[in-house]
Structures are given as structure tokens and as C-alpha cells.
A and B are shown apart, each in its own frame.
Chain A
Amino acid sequence: MADLTTNFAGLKSPNPFWLASAPPTNMGPMIERAFDAGWGGAVWKTLGERITNVSSRLAALDQGQVRMIGLNNIELITDRPLEVNLKEMAECKKKYPNHTVIASLMVESKKEAWQEITKRTQDTGCDGFELNFGCPHGMSERGMGAAMGQVPEYTCMVTEWVKEVSDIPVIVKLTPNVTHIVPPGRAAQKGGADAVSLINTINSVIGVDVDTMIPYPNVNGMAAHGGYCGTAVKPIALNMVSELARDAEFNIPISGIGGINTWRDAVEFMLLGAANVQVCTAVMHYGYRIVEDMIDGLNNYLDEKGFASVGDIVGKSVHRMTDWGDLDLNYDVKALVHKDKCIQCNLCYVACEDGAHQSFEFEEVDGKRYPRVIEAECVGCNLCALVCPSPGAIEMIRVDAGGPTESWRQRTAGN
């Protein structure tokens, strides 16, 4: 059994799995149930001024039979009275001293407002703060959320205001709705943040009902853009996490968020630099119970790989990320079809023919027709192996001699 406890910017948790600030953390009794299910921490649904939510608020992207590979929401911050949330937060923290309770905050861009809510919330005994600079809809129209996170100077300024009065760690939650994630990350650090978390949701319109021609989610015949999350956003989140992790000037911990469903997703985030992870959509889909396999799977993975503690894997793959210009141009792989595993669906053939480099032909063997790679044509793009439904039927094989490497940067250095 590996050690799953984490110390994230001074915040101790029984495991690296936190609930992200969202409906699963709407109130005390829910968070208590989540802790009972095994979650290590929870970021309370964002507190702030009273707001009114609309109905409906969610819409999803499905792929074939798979429901909700992406989720879109136009929900705002909590719509419960602040006093009620704070009272429950204090009770919850008392009952679960070993779990991490983080208060997520968002108010208008005024120093007094931020400092007032920080002080009031701090009195609950919560373990830390997360500043929501990420909400991309509704709140941003009022100059809050993403409107703040998109301007590094504001990010830095508000972080400073909160840090002035906060006695506990402050995490800044970043918005992905920026061209480059490093400037806001550095701004949070400059403002004194103890850590960052990312990503919040991505600007999105999930679709249109083609019968009524009303986009989703329908609010009395109208729709507004919302925030996108769930499985589909994981690659975007991984990129942003890894960019911050690679940045030499950036050196505070990262809480990874976005499309995490399983222990494997969590491990990927950690390998690319996240010190812990937060989950929302997967819990909204399947409930708190999913954490059981996250913990179990992570444990087994660490044991199998010989790591004593979950902290040991954090950032392990960061040095494997580089810029394109530094990749080795001499490395060469080619596709190979293993006929014993091939089921003759010909998806590799058509994919390469119409979507890659026309590197397939057919060969007849024992009355069966198999696709065969024309090695001279194959550029080693992986597409055929990616579309192949039969595990192991296509293998990408290294064919270069393993000689000296050469990158684009090296090749063009003299120019």
C-alpha cells in the first residue's frame, strides 16, 4: 500500500482526490457524504453575492452510445445564502478534521468586498481558499470570474487583496479562456498565491435542437454560451497544466482539473505536474462512489510501479514535454499489421487512404484479404493504429537505426 496522503501547499489530505467547486459541493451534507465515500477534499461551491440561477442550465455532448463526453453549464455561483453556507462549512470542518475543506470565493472587483468575504469565511475554520477567476459565463458579464482571470494584472491584484487578510493557503483557479496560460499563472504567483488550480470551464455552445432550432440549454426559447467540461476537455487541461509545470519562473503547486474520470486520468495529470486533482463532471454523472476505484486503482498503480508515495510521481513526465522544434527528426516508426489479430474491417485502409498517406494495399492470404502497409509510403503518423478496433492488430515499429538525433532547431541553427 503506497502512501496516498498529500500535502498540497500546506493543505493535508488523506488522498489527492478533491471535489471541484460545483454542484457536488453545493452544501455541507453533500460534502460530508462525499468524504464518507472517500474523497480527500472538497472545494465548496463558489460563495459570493446572492445570485439567481436559470432553468434549464446544463446540456451535454454525446458520442454514439456514450452519454455526456462533454458537459456545458450556464450555472452561476451558489444560490444559497452565505450565512447558511458558512454555518454548514464550520460544522463540516468540525466533523471532518482530517479532510480538506476549501472555500471558493468570487465577488465584485473591489478590495473591501474580497477582504470582507475572506475574513468572514475564514472564521468557519476552513482549510484554504480558492479564488474563482474562471467562470466564463454570467459572472464574467458582471466583471467577475473569467473577466478577472483573463487579465493577469487583475489576477495579481485580487490575489494580493485576499492574501493580505488570509491566514490560510490561497489557491487561484485559472480560466482556460486565454491564449496562453503562463501569464495568468505567473500573475497569481506574483500576487502571493500558494497554488493554482486549472482548468475552469471553457466557453462553449454545445449544440442546437434541429427541430425547434433553439440552441441548448433552452431557457424559454433562448440560450447563452456556457462553460464546457468533462472527458472532452481533458487534453486541453493537460496541455495547460504541463505548460505551467514546464515554466521555469512558475514554481507553486498545481491542482489539476478537467475531464478526470479515473485514477488513470489522475495519474496523467500528476505525471504532467499536478500535485493533486479535482473532479466535477464524472461525479455529476456517476456519483461520489467513483472515488473508490480512483483510490484503489492509484494504489495498485503505485505498488506496481514501485512508488512508495503518490508524491513521487508528481511531475515525472514534465521533462518529456518539449517544444516541437526540439523533437528528433531522425526517429522513424512504421505501421505493421499483425494478421492474426486483424478482423478485416479495413478501417486502417480507408483512414490511411483518405486521411493520411495512401500507404495501404491489400494482400490475399489463405482466401482472406488483409491490409498491408507499403513501408516506403508510410510516414508513421499512427492514424491506422488509432482507428483499428482490434487490440494489437497494428503495431508501430521503430525502423531508424537509432543513430544521432537531429531537431529542427539544430537543423536550422546556422540559418
Chain B
Amino acid sequence: MDKAFCTPLDITQIEHNFAEINPAMSAAEAMQEANRCLYCYDAPCMHACPTHIDVPGFIKKIASGNVIGSARVIFDANPIGASCARVCPVEVLCEGACVEKTLIKKPIEIGRLQRYATDHAMAVDKQIFEKGEANGKSVGIVGSGPAGLSCAAYLARLGYDVTVYERREQPGGLDTYGMAEYKMPQSVSLSEVDHIARLGVEFRLNTEIVAGSAETLGPVNHVGVELLREWHDAIFLAVGLGETNRLNIPGEDLEGVIDALAFIEQIKTRDWKSVPLGRNVAVIGAGNTAVDAVTQAKRLGAENVMMIYRRTEADAPAYEYEIELAKKDGVEFHWQTKLIKIGGEISVLALLCSKPDGTEFAIECDMVIKAIGQQKMASFFTDITGVDVDEKGRVVVNGQMQTSDPAIFAGGDCANGGAEAVDASQMGKHAAEGIHHALTGESVQFAGSSVKPVEKTAVHHH
């Protein structure tokens, strides 16, 4: 790619632009904030957290000075609690439900407090959980994203021999390759993976699970799924989603048209000058990924960044606060704008768009980032592992995360169609419980598996 087709900013400026949007708290800040928490009972924030972390519990431990105890509460319910502290959409989850938001419009900064506690545990290199006594059983996990990691951590704690197969060079799934760089750098995701590895979980990287029963070694090893069945007592599929959907319009293959995931992945190398970047950048779509693309293109210094979406602002799948962030960053919005064609000879020069009333118009543009959602992994399930998918291409699982094949479990984006990292983590937890039940007949419930209903004491006064 053309040398000029990259950021015009100097490195110091870019580093500044990509500073963490939710920075670490100082001890004084954490104390102040922790003490502000009311310590609600059967707390709304805990209900709202998909992994049901005992939020008041971990916050009060920060306030009492028991920070390691606090981190334990968090990791007990969410093995990727350090990543989630940074990437969770807290505005619509725990913090959105906080009673302090209702009372004084200032929710407790639960995410940053969670970061404070987990950072502390990581900084003092505290091994919070240990591998359980070996139970002689083995589980193979395909995919090392949030779902796979969470399942691996719980199974290791129960004494399973766990192997995670990951086709990428680095573990962590989208936590490592997909999170907006101003939310979380790769180092955090990788150190979290490291803590899970220390529970005795084995990671086989550069290893893709394919059909058949052969194992071929190469730059990327191929392992047939039938081998997994041989090697392991159960399999957990946490393969996430597939490639970005195609636009299926003329000009899609011109130089300068890039898929949002690839764009973000390149940013995450922090080799800023290697990231392709035009002057007039159009991002197609208005979901979470599209927001991450526009905000990062802006931070890299693109002169003009546009978000182009077929429907209205109200229809945008991104959260309201995300759109607000994009607005604050100076992104230009083209609502109800349908992309008809990308114009250019070799590389992108303009977009041809239309409005609902049929009027057509052109937008000057030298880079297009596609962010219209990812494909489902339907064929992986049907053709390679032979388990059922639903009409939307999602693998079908029961409450225990078991697929149509009793030895195969699945969870995360591949099962829910794409949600948040924290949802994938919870599914990994449920899968670990399901696998344990299937292999041993024993029931186990990890912290935050579900919210236990309040048990009212029987009254005996009169």
C-alpha cells in the first residue's frame, strides 16, 4: 500500500489519542469511590452483570483494604474479569442498574473499581485459584476467546486436563485481536490468558480444528475433529463468528476497501504507521464494531470520518453512549443512506449512495471500512463437527451448553449470535458446569452461575 496511505500524525500524538478511555484509579480514588457504594442487598448491579459478580461484595473489600479478596470475588464469577473491567458496556449493564444512578445520576464506577482490584492481583502476581486435583478426565476446547478461556479456567479448577486449540498466533480471541485499543491493549488480554494458563491449561496455538481425523503440521497445524473425540472426554466449541459480511456491491474489491476487523487488528499491533488510513474514511454500518472503527480512524488522524448507515439513528445497533462518543470525536453521520456502489479505477475515489426517496448522490472518499456484521460459523458446525445449527446459523445448545452431540458443548458468540465478551464468559461457565455434569453426574454451580432468589425468613413472632 502507498506510503502516504497511513496516519499523518506523529507517534506521540497518536499515543496520546489512544490513551485509555477508562484509566486506572489511584488508591485514593478507589477508596473514595468504593466507600460511596451503598452495599445494596441483592444488588441491582449484580443482577445486571451477565456473570453476576457480587459487585457490592468486591467493592466493600476494596474499601476494607482487602484488595486480593476483592479480585478473588471478581475472578470467581468471571475468569476474564480484568478484560471485562475495561471492555464491558457498563453503561447498559452494572452501572446502568446502579442505584446511585437513580439517586444522584452518578453510578458507582464499577468497571474502574473492578479494574483496580484485578490490576492489583495481576501486579502482585497473585495466583488466586489453583488447578484442582486431577480427576483423570480431559476436555478439548476449540477457540481461546472469552468463552473458551472461561470454560478452561473453571474446568481446570475442577481438576480437568484442559487443552485449548487456537488457530491464531496469539490466544485471547477478540479480547486480543478485536477490542478498541483505547479500551484495552493486547497486553491485558494476554496476561489474563497467562493466568489461566497457570491453572495448568495447555494452549496449542496456530492450530486449527478441521474436518476429518488427520493431524498435519505446518505454519498452522490442522487437527481433525475426530482426533479431538479420541483425545478428550468432551469438547467445547467456542469458535466465535466468521468473516465480515460482504456488501455485495460493485467496487467492493477495489484497493482501499478493508474489513473493520482487519483494520482494528492492525491498530492493535500499535505499529501505527502500518495501519492503512485514508483522508476521507467511510465506515459502513452502525453497530459496535462500526463505532470502534470510526473512533479509531479519527484517533489515527483521518481528516474526515463518516459513518454510513441505511436506517435512522434510532435504528443503529450501537449503544447510545457509543454514538455519543463518535459524535464527540467529530464523526460525520449519514443516516438513511444506502451505499450503491464504490467508485474508482484501482482504488476508492467516491461512494455512490441513495436516500430513501430514491435521490442518488456521491460522497468523496478514499477509504471504505466494512462493518456490517460477521458471518455465522454455520458450516463449521454442520460440516466439520456435525452438530445442529438454527435458522440463523447459530449452534444450538441447551441450558447446559450441550449441542445435539452429547459429547460436544458450545458457547459464546457462535451460540448467541454475537454479544459481549462478558456474555461469552458466562456461557463458558455454564459449559464447564454442563461438561462436569455430563462426565461425572455431579452438579456444580460456580459463583454467579445464576442469581439466587432472596429467601424470605419465615416469620414466627406471633
A343-B31 Cα distance, complex, nearest whole Å: 23
Q: Are A65 and B41 in contact (CB under 8 A)?
A: no
Q: Are B103 and A64 in contact (CB under 8 A)?
A: no
Determine if B159 is an interface residue (Cβ-Cβ < 8 Å). no
Looking at the complex, which one of A347, A361, A376 makes contact with B40 (CB distance below 8 Å)? A347
Distance from A200 Cβ to chain B, minimum over Cβ atoms (Å): 32
Q: Are A345 and B99 in contact (CB under 8 A)?
A: yes
> B39: which A residues are within 8 A, CB to CB?
347
- Interface contacts (Cβ under 8 Å), in number, total 51
A359-B43 Cα distance, complex, nearest whole Å: 19
Q: A65-B31, A349-B41, A350-B41 are in contact. Are A344 and B99 (CB under 8 A)?
A: yes
Q: A64-B63, A65-B32, A65-B35 are in contact. Are A346 and B461 (CB under 8 A)?
A: no
Known: A65-B32, A347-B41, A377-B461. 5 other contacts (CB 8 A): A64-B63, A344-B40, A344-B99, A345-B38, A345-B44
Q: A344-B99, A357-B461 are in contact. Are A64 and B41 (CB under 8 A)?
A: no
Q: A64-B35, A65-B36, A350-B41 are in contact. Are A343 and B99 (CB under 8 A)?
A: yes
Identity of the chain B residue whose Cβ is nearest the Cβ of A351 in the assembled complex? B41
The stretch of B132-140, B244-252, B452-460 in contact with A is: B452-460
> B456: which A residues are within 8 A, CB to CB?
353, 358, 361
Q: What are 30 of the A-B contact pairs (CB < 8 Å)?
A: A64-B63, A65-B32, A65-B35, A343-B102, A344-B40, A344-B102, A345-B41, A345-B43, A345-B99, A346-B41, A346-B42, A346-B43, A347-B38, A347-B39, A347-B40, A347-B41, A349-B41, A349-B42, A349-B454, A350-B42, A353-B456, A353-B457, A358-B456, A358-B459, A358-B461, A359-B459, A377-B459, A389-B38, A389-B99, A389-B103
Interface readout for B428-462 with A: 1 if CB under 8 Å, 0 if not? 00000000000000000000000000101101011
Determine if A397 is an interface residue (Cβ-Cβ < 8 Å). no
Q: Are B38 and A362 in contact (CB under 8 A)?
A: no
> A347: which B residues are within 8 A, CB to CB?
38-41
Identity of the chain A residue whose Cβ is nearest the Cβ of B457 in the assembled complex? A358
> A353: which B residues are within 8 A, CB to CB?
456-457
**SS of A interface (majority):** loop
A interface residue numbers (CB < 8 A to B):
64-65, 343-347, 349-350, 353, 357-359, 361-362, 374, 376-377, 389-390
A405-B35 Cα distance, complex, nearest whole Å: 44
> A357: which B residues are within 8 A, CB to CB?
459, 461
Q: Are A344 and B457 in contact (CB under 8 A)?
A: no
> B43: which A residues are within 8 A, CB to CB?
345-346
Q: Which of B85-132 contact A (CB under 8 A)?
A: 99, 102-103
A120-B454 Cα distance, complex, nearest whole Å: 72
Question: Which of A346, A353, A357: most chain B CB closer than 10 A?
Answer: A346
Distance from B92 Cβ to chain A, minimum over Cβ atoms (Å): 17
Q: Are B103 and A343 in contact (CB under 8 A)?
A: yes
Distance from B316 Cβ to chain A, minimum over Cβ atoms (Å): 25
A8-B461 Cα distance, complex, nearest whole Å: 53
> A361: which B residues are within 8 A, CB to CB?
456
> A349: which B residues are within 8 A, CB to CB?
41-42, 454
> A389: which B residues are within 8 A, CB to CB?
38, 99, 103
Distance from B113 Cβ to chain A, minimum over Cβ atoms (Å): 14
> A345: which B residues are within 8 A, CB to CB?
38, 40-41, 43-44, 99
Distance from A371 Cβ to chain B, minimum over Cβ atoms (Å): 10
> B44: which A residues are within 8 A, CB to CB?
344-345
> B63: which A residues are within 8 A, CB to CB?
64
Interface readout for B147-168 with A: 1 if CB under 8 Å, 0 if not? 0000000000000000000000
> B461: which A residues are within 8 A, CB to CB?
357-358, 377
Interface readout for B37-78 with A: 1 if CB under 8 Å, 0 if not? 011111110000000000000000001000000000000000
Distance from B94 Cβ to chain A, minimum over Cβ atoms (Å): 14
Q: Which of B222-249 contact A (CB under 8 A)?
A: none
> A359: which B residues are within 8 A, CB to CB?
459
> A377: which B residues are within 8 A, CB to CB?
459, 461
Q: Are B459 and A374 in contact (CB under 8 A)?
A: yes
Identity of the chain B residue whose Cβ is nearest the Cβ of A348 in the assembled complex? B41
A357-B456 Cα distance, complex, nearest whole Å: 12
Distance from B62 Cβ to chain A, minimum over Cβ atoms (Å): 12
Question: Which of B41, B42, B461: most chain A CB closer than 10 A?
Answer: B41
> A346: which B residues are within 8 A, CB to CB?
40-43
> A374: which B residues are within 8 A, CB to CB?
459
A83-B119 Cα distance, complex, nearest whole Å: 60
Distance from A284 Cβ to chain B, minimum over Cβ atoms (Å): 22
Distance from A362 Cβ to chain B, minimum over Cβ atoms (Å): 7
Interface readout for B274-318 with A: 1 if CB under 8 Å, 0 if not? 000000000000000000000000000000000000000000000
A142-B72 Cα distance, complex, nearest whole Å: 53
A353-B457 Cα distance, complex, nearest whole Å: 7
Distance from B55 Cβ to chain A, minimum over Cβ atoms (Å): 12
Identity of the chain B residue whose Cβ is nearest the Cβ of A393 in the assembled complex? B103
Interface readout for B7-45 with A: 1 if CB under 8 Å, 0 if not? 000000000000000000000000110011011111110
> B31: which A residues are within 8 A, CB to CB?
65
Question: Which of A345, A346, A347, A390: most chain B CB closer than 10 A?
Answer: A345
Distance from B101 Cβ to chain A, minimum over Cβ atoms (Å): 9
Q: Are A390 and B103 in contact (CB under 8 A)?
A: yes
Distance from B395 Cβ to chain A, minimum over Cβ atoms (Å): 32
**Across the A-B interface, the 8 shortest Cβ-Cβ residue pairs:** A350-B41, A64-B35, A346-B41, A345-B40, A343-B99, A343-B102, A65-B35, A345-B99
Distance from A335 Cβ to chain B, minimum over Cβ atoms (Å): 15
Identity of the chain A residue whose Cβ is nearest the Cβ of B455 in the assembled complex? A353
A65-B35 Cα distance, complex, nearest whole Å: 6
A302-B257 Cα distance, complex, nearest whole Å: 76
> A343: which B residues are within 8 A, CB to CB?
99, 102-103
A18-B356 Cα distance, complex, nearest whole Å: 78
Distance from A108 Cβ to chain B, minimum over Cβ atoms (Å): 45
Identity of the chain A residue whose Cβ is nearest the Cβ of B44 in the assembled complex? A344
Identity of the chain B residue whose Cβ is nearest the Cβ of A376 in the assembled complex? B462
> B42: which A residues are within 8 A, CB to CB?
346, 349-350
A361-B38 Cα distance, complex, nearest whole Å: 20
